[in-house]
Each structure stands twice: as structure tokens, then as C-alpha cells.
Amino acid sequence: MKKNHLTKLAKKLSILSFGTFLIANILNPFCLVSQAAGSDDPGAGRLSGEDIPKEFFEDGRTGLDDNGFSFTPFSTLGSSQTVSTYTNTTYTHQDKFDGLTIVNGIDVSEYQNGKPIDWAQVKASGIEFAFIRVGARGYGSAGKMINDTHYAQNVDGAIAAGLNVGLYVYSQATTEEEAVEEAQFILDKIGDRNINLPLVLDYEFASPATSRLRAAKLSKDEATDVCLAFCEKIQETQKYTPMVYANPDMLNNHLNADVISGYYPIWLANYTTSTTYPGAFQYWQYSSKGTVPGITTNVDMNFYYVPTANNILNTIVTPIPDQTYTGTAITPDLTVTIDGKTLVGGTDYTVAYSNNTAPGTANITLTGINGYSGTKNIVFKIVDPTPIPVINDLSSTGKTKNSITLSWTTGANINGYEIYRANSINGEYSLIYTINDANKNSFTNTGLSEGQVYYYRIRAYRTINGSSSFGEFSNIIGPYTKTSYTKLILPTKESDIYSQMDVNSEVIQTVKKNTFVKATFAVYDDAGTKWYRTSYSGVAGYIPASKVKAVKQGKVKTSKVNVRKKASVLSKRVTTVGKNKKVAILKTKKTKSGTWYNIQFTKGSKTYKGWIYSIYIKI
């Protein structure tokens, strides 16, 4: 995370009282994002319930807040377990929420407006808060902002019915500037409405595999900075509380969730009866299939865990900029406020530091004392001031049908290297091996498939006092393994060969059904679609694997060989083939007399299929 960003943010976070935070946290809108027909609204799939990504299923006070916003008292539902009348299911709450008030709420978008929502019925059914979608950023490359067509109708109806209301935007922001734009997009839509709950950044990948947020391939630090930029912009108003909504995959694998949750509330989207998410969160979106009187479609359901008064969890802590490694324990000063009051360390809370000497992530635990209760965990980074060299000459220096050898120039002042591999150039790179030797400059990846492209990148690391720091990743290379035979692909119907792995790219050739096309290797595009790199009539291109059948090429070794209808010398002869005739081997069959090949070939203008004894074929 960028030091200057945190420093700038630190100057502003202490301004907002937790009174606003508590009320703003009462509702979260991370479930709905609507999309008009024909638009590139990222919520079209999930918010309509038609395409919910698997990532979503993975393992009080009353009165006025500091801004004079009134809100309705909450009902206590109990703890440990809750029976939701909206899904007819029992939900188990994490132990950390024992004793807290649990509030029922929903979030909606235009997808819940097949018929106008009867907000009075919604309120009467026991729903106490609603998050309303304001709009979204399109998932296409242009990334234009999209208005939710029923925003005004929904927000005004919910407020009129006496619900506590928050707002959200379905984000596809890939930069801090776009995140600020999305924050301003929400602020501009509020007007004079009484919005007493958080303003939320719904941060998730849109369903299309090529959606802009997924395609951006942001690092954890970059994605975290996007979320912080949105939150900072909202907090600048000194009027509203920001919040981040995400599913477990996003929180665990694509964000520094512990950093965000140290300063802002988290809305967890996890469709299960008992979430195992280990991080901090204040809201839990537990289902997308709620049935609520007054709404004719399924609707997202949420629990809100209302913190007790004077709980350290409710405090605002000024963010801590990245700290430089010194070799000694680092204990930065803290500014901790609650409802506009600055708390005093040692009087109102105790501070415990851990992992705060070596480079990496350091931890702080605040524990309330003398009238303050609860704990809060905060993290900050300790950075190694000595640059770690970047490997910029990764290359492939050898390959077999089952292995690829990588080589690079070694770096100084490091301890070793990490090797990462993916199936597509912009795919998910996984760590496959760690080299604990700085002088090692090659690695052979074995156990690979024949005729397959693999993409690699590496990075160097340095270890100090048991904690490792990492350099930037190297250049990416995409070598392919050899094959022990010539691979052919036979189009199952007339098919196009493209200049790139994209059906919208230039068509460079069109081949008829059963034409012999040589395949150099198999490769996957960013959407996970398998293609073959082809060579036909001296021109290279790509063809989707779904359009062809992959087979081996063989060559007849004898001057004249009979082709049989079945795998037997007693079977009817179909035709004969001559020496050096190239054939496609479709399958193999073993009989008592030996091994036979089922082959396909052309003779003149006619295509033949039949069986030939394997001893007459060279592969």
C-alpha cells in the first residue's frame, strides 16, 4: 500500500465520530446492482439471481447521531442462532457476536422492481434497514457510470416507510481516481434525503470473465488502495460513514482485508448458514433468495451486528503510514477517537504490539479498559529499505514433452526465488516452487502435459528475522512442451482459423470439415477457453478446441496396405493406402492378433475411415 496515500488518509480519518459510523453501519447495500437491458451493468447476473458466482458460497441505541439524523430503534433478535423467517432457515452466528443485538435488513436494486416494492409491507414484516443501489460502473472497457433506474423510487419509499437507509454503488473501479468518482456519484444522488446508514463500495468481480475489474489483475495493495480511496472521499464529508462490501474470495485473495477493517466496517457476502470467514465484519449478507412481503422477487438478506456502547470496536483509528525497517521494535503513536472524543492510551485502552520488528505486516491490538470494552485489531506495514532486485531476463532454455526449463540471471542481497505458473498469460498464477538458494539460476518444471503452453513468472525474496520481503515479478514467458507425435486437429464442420485467440479477430483461413490441420500446441485464453495454435498451408493461427477433434498423425510404412471396415483381417476391405500416406489416427484397439488403428484420410475428393494393422503405421 502506498505510503503517501495512507499519510493523506491519516489526516482525515480522525475527524468522523463513531456516532455516524454506528448508524451508517446499520445497513449495507452489497447485494444489488441493477442493469438495464442491453447495458454493461456488472450486476445483471448476480443481482437478478441468474448468475451468482461461486465465491459467494465459499467456505442498541436510539435517538439522534452527531449529524442530527434520526433512526428507528432496533429489535433484539438474540445471538448464537437466528431463525430467518425470510428464508425459513436457521443461521449460526460467530462467537464474537454473542450478546450483540442482531438486526434484519435487505438490499435492493431495479432487479427487485418487477412490480413496485410495497415498503410499508416490508417494514411491517420486521425488516429494519435497507441498502439501496444508486448505480454501477459498467463492466466493459469504457467503464461508464450507470444509474439504477429505480433508485429514487426505492430510496424515497424506504425512507417514507420508516426504514433506516444506506446506499451503495456496484464498483468496477480499477484506479483510485475511479473510486473517488464512484464515491462522488453516490454523494451527488443523495440530495436532502435522510441517509443514516453507510455509503458502500460493492467490490466484486462482475460475472463476465472479461469484466474490467477482473481483467485489470490488480495486486492486493492496488485493490486495497482503490477501496481506501472511496472510503476517504466519503469520510471527507464528515457526514457519512463509508463501508466496503465483498465476498470471502475478494477479502481473502484480492484485498488486504485486515488493513481495511482496521479503519472501516466490512460487509461480508457469504451465502451459507454459518460463515467461517475469519476476519472482522459488521454485516453479513447470508442469502440472495429471501422472500419478503411487499417484494415480488427474491431479495438479498442481511444481518447487522450492533456493537455495544463504548466498545473499542466502534473507534476510529488514524491510519498508520508504512514504517521503515530499523532492526528494532517499531511502536508508532496512535490517535483513537470515539464519538468525537479522543481516547487516552493507558487510561481508556491498552496497546499490544506484535510482529513489529522485521519487515512485513505488524499487528496492534487495542483493548478497552475503565468503562471501555472490547478489542480492535489494526495492522501496519514495515518495509525493507533495501531494494530487492527484479528479474527481467526470465527465459526458457530447454523443454521435453513433459518438462520446461527456466533460466535467469541471479540477483544480489537476496535469499532465493519463487516460481509461479498459470495456464493463460493473464490467468491466476500459482506458486509452484520456492528456491532457497540465491545462486541458483535455473529450474526445471516436470510432470507437464505434452503439447501445452505454460506461462511463468518469478520473483526474488529476502528474509530478515524470519520475515520475507518480495521483489516485483519478472517478465512473463509462455513456452510450450514438445509432443512425441505430430498432432492433428480435424474440424468437425467448416471452421475459421483466427489471427488471435478471439473470434472477433481477423479470420485468416477457413477450413472444411475433416481437413488435416497441424496443431503446434494447446493454449488457454483469459476466459479459460482452450484453443489450438495451428499451422495450415504455411500460415499460423488459432482455432477453438470446441470446433475440432485432436488426433495423432501417422504415416503408412508399406507400399500397399488394406484398410478394413473392422479391426480384423477377416473384415471387409474398404480401400487401400500407399506408402508415406499421411493418416489421422482416431483411436486404438487391441485384439488377440495385435493392435489396430482406426484411421481417417482423404483419397482424391473422398474421405475414408477404417482400420489398419498398427505395424504398418509410423507415428
CB atoms within 10 A of CB 356: 18
Task: Give the integer Cα–Cα distance in Å for 236 and 476.
Answer: 41
Residue 600 phi, psi dihedral angles, 5° rounding: -135, 140
User: Could you say which DSSP state residue 616 is in?
Assistant: G
For 369, the 3-state DSSP assignment is coil
Task: Give the integer Cα–Cα distance in Å for 169 and 211.
Answer: 16
Q: Give the contacts of 456 (CB within 8 A, at least 6 positions apart).
A: 394, 396, 404, 406, 419, 420, 421, 445, 476, 477, 478, 479
Residue 544 has pLDDT above 90, yes or no: yes
User: Could you say which DSSP state residue 278 is in?
Assistant: -
Assigned C-alpha cell, 119: 415498503
- So what's the pLDDT on residue 59? 67
Residue 87 has pLDDT above 60, yes or no: yes
- Give just the sign of the alpha carbon dihedral 425, 427, 430, 432: negative
CB 546 within 8 A of CB 496: no
H helix or E strand, kind and range, residue 159: helix 151-160
**Degrees to nearest 5, angle at CA 234 with 231 and 238:** 120
Each residue's pLDDT tens digit, 357-371 = 988 889 999 999 999
Measuring CA to CA, how many Å separate 448 from each of 403, 445, 452, 565?
6, 7, 8, 37
DSSP 206-262: -SSTT-HHHHHT--HHHHHHHHHHHHHHHHTTSS--EEEEE-HHIIIIIS-HHHHHT
Q: Give the contacts of 82 (CB within 8 A, at least 6 positions apart).
A: 90, 91, 93, 102, 303
Residue 24 has pLDDT above 70, yes or no: no
H helix or E strand, kind and range, residue 148: none
Residue 471 phi, psi dihedral angles, 5° rounding: -85, 180
- Edge-first strand order for the sheet with 341-342 is 316-317, 336-338, 341-342
Task: Read off the amino acid at residue 212.
Answer: R
- Provide the β-strand partners of residue 607: 602
For helices 220-235 and 176-190, angle between their N-to-C axes, nearest 10 degrees: 30
Confidence of residue 78 (pLDDT cuts 50, 70, 90): very low
| Residue recorded with cell 528494532 | 328
Q: Going by DSSP bridges, is the β-strand pair 375-383/416-422 parallel, antiparallel, or unpaired?
A: unpaired
Task: Give the integer Cα–Cα distance in Å for 316 and 318.
Answer: 7
**C-alpha closest to that of 244 among 280, 207, 190, 194:** 280
Each residue's pLDDT tens digit, 194-212 = 998 999 999 999 876 678 9
- Provide the β-strand partners of residue 555: 582, 618
User: Could you say which DSSP state residue 76 is in?
Assistant: P
Query: Which range, 77-86, 319-328, 388-397, 480-489, has the best average confidence (pLDDT)?
Result: 388-397
What secondary structure, in 3-state letters, does 299-365 show? Answer: EEEEEEEECCCCEHHHCEECCCCCEECCCCCCCCCCCEEECCEECCECCCEEEEEECCCCCEEEEEE
Residue 70 has pLDDT above 60, yes or no: no
- Provide the β-strand partners of residue 305: 102
Each residue's pLDDT tens digit, 273-314 = 999 998 999 999 999 999 999 999 999 999 999 888 898 887
CB atoms within 10 A of CB 293: 14
**Residue length of the chain:** 619
- Give just the sign of the alpha carbon dihedral 609, 612, 617, 619: positive
pTM for the predicted model, two decimal places? 0.65
CB atoms within 10 A of CB 479: 19
Q: Is residue 12 exposed (0-12), middle (13-18) or buried (19+ Cβ within 10 Å)?
A: middle
**C-alpha closest to that of 193 among 166, 220, 222, 229:** 166
Task: Give the integer Cα–Cα distance in Å for 259 and 94.
Answer: 21
Residue 550 has pLDDT above 60, yes or no: yes
Each residue's pLDDT tens digit, 458-477 = 999 999 888 888 998 999 99
Assigned C-alpha cell, 613: 494393422
Q: Which stretch of 43-47, 325-329, 463-467 has the lowest confidence by average pLDDT?
A: 43-47
User: Span 177-191, mean pLDDT?
Assistant: 97
Residue 338 phi, psi dihedral angles, 5° rounding: -145, 125
- Provide the β-strand partners of residue 171: 203
Which of 32 and 328 is assigned the larger pLDDT? 328
- So what's the pLDDT on residue 31? 32
Task: Read off the amino acid at residue 102.
Answer: I
| Residue recorded with cell 460502473 | 137
Mean pLDDT of the residues in the chain: 86
- Give just the sign of the alpha carbon dihedral 569, 570, 571, 573: positive
- So what's the pLDDT on residue 96? 86
Measuring CA to CA, how many Å separate 491 from each of 108, 422, 509, 518, 603?
47, 28, 13, 11, 18
Each residue's pLDDT tens digit, 572-615 = 999 999 999 999 999 999 999 899 999 999 888 888 999 999 99
For 55, the 3-state DSSP assignment is helix
**C-alpha closest to that of 599 among 547, 561, 543, 570:** 561
User: Could you say which DSSP state residue 167 is in?
Assistant: E
Q: What are the E-state strand segments in 74-198?
A: 81-84, 89-92, 101-108, 129-137, 145-147, 164-171
User: Span 316-331, mean pLDDT?
Assistant: 88
Each residue's pLDDT tens digit, 430-453 = 999 999 999 999 999 999 999 999
- So what's the pLDDT on residue 571? 93
H helix or E strand, kind and range, residue 382: strand 375-383
Task: Give the integer Cα–Cα distance in Å for 584 and 554.
Answer: 6
Task: Give the integer Cα–Cα distance in Å for 517 and 538.
Answer: 11
